[in-house]
């Protein structure tokens, strides 16, 4: 499963990229605003730090506007930048046009199996079901991932990658992996938690204590 960072903060991308496990980065207007950076310069720098797909979102809501923005972003930013488009009728049409021109699209704000199927049929390279937002409504976000993957398993012609989004916890990441999601986009805080375990910490403390004892005995 591809591990993708959901962030527009350069320092966060630099840190996770240094681990050697980062497969891509997703951004959106909200993340860009919170980062305080210029949109294109921020995406440009992120694309330099990570060679995987970097999602840059359009802001237009009409097909013509989405296509124009998508073309501009693809022409003005590095090759690994892909275009993030909302799952609407206009977004489907824009995705079909952009995909037909060889421009990869990440269709975002997917909340149902039918939306996922339409995104794939339109030619999206990735589709992003929002787990956490469904959980917020009292629904089971992971159940949506399970349903989508069931459809994908029965239809091998569907090549669009399922990118679990709106991740809120390590459990969301692990469940997405178990269900066979192709990728997960993970907030910085949760990404950091993936490496944490109390037994790892206690094991290191024990090893260091033993090494200190060895040195004290002059056996190093």
- Catalytic residue list: 84
Residue from 129, 156, 160, 155 nearest 144 by CA:
129
Say how far apart CA 114 and CA 37 lie, in whole Å.
36
**Chain center to CA of 118:** 20
Write out the two tokens for 113: 């199996």
Write out the two tokens for 133: 């937002």
Residue from 93, 97, 153 nearest 118 by CA:
93
SS3 state of residue 97: helix
SS3 state of residue 50: coil
Q: What angle do CA 134, 139, 140 make, to 5 degrees?
A: 85
Residue from 71, 64, 27 nearest 45 by CA:
27
Say how far apart CA 139 and CA 201 lie, in whole Å.
35
Residue from 166, 206, 202 nearest 186 by CA:
166
SS3 state of residue 82: strand
């Amino acid at each position: 499963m591809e591990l993708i960072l959901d962030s527009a903060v350069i320092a966060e991308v630099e840190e996770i990229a240094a681990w050697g496990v980062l497969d891509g980065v997703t951004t959106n207007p909200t993340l860009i605003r919170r980062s305080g950076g210029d949109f294109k310069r921020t995406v440009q720098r992120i694309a330099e730090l990570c060679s995987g797909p970097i999602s840059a979102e359009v802001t237009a809501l009409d097909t013509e506007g989405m296509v124009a923005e998508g073309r501009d972003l693809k022409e003005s930013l590095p090759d690994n930048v892909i275009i993030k488009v909302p799952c609407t009728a206009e977004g489907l049409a824009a995705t079909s046009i952009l995909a037909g021109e060889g421009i990869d699209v990440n269709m975002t704000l997917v909340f149902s199996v039918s939306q996922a199927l339409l995104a794939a049929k339109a030619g999206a390279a990735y589709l992003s079901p929002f787990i956490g937002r469904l959980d917020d409504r009292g629904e089971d976000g992971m159940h949506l991932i399970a349903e989508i993957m069931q459809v994908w398993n029965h239809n091998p012609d569907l090549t669009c990658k399922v990118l679990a989004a709106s991740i809120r916890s390590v459990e969301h990441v692990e469940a997405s992996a178990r269900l066979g999601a192709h990728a997960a986009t993970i907030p910085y805080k949760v990404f950091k938690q993936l490496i944490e375990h109390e037994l790892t910490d206690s094991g290191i403390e024990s090893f260091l204590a033993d090494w200190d004892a060895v040195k004290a005995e002059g056996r190093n």
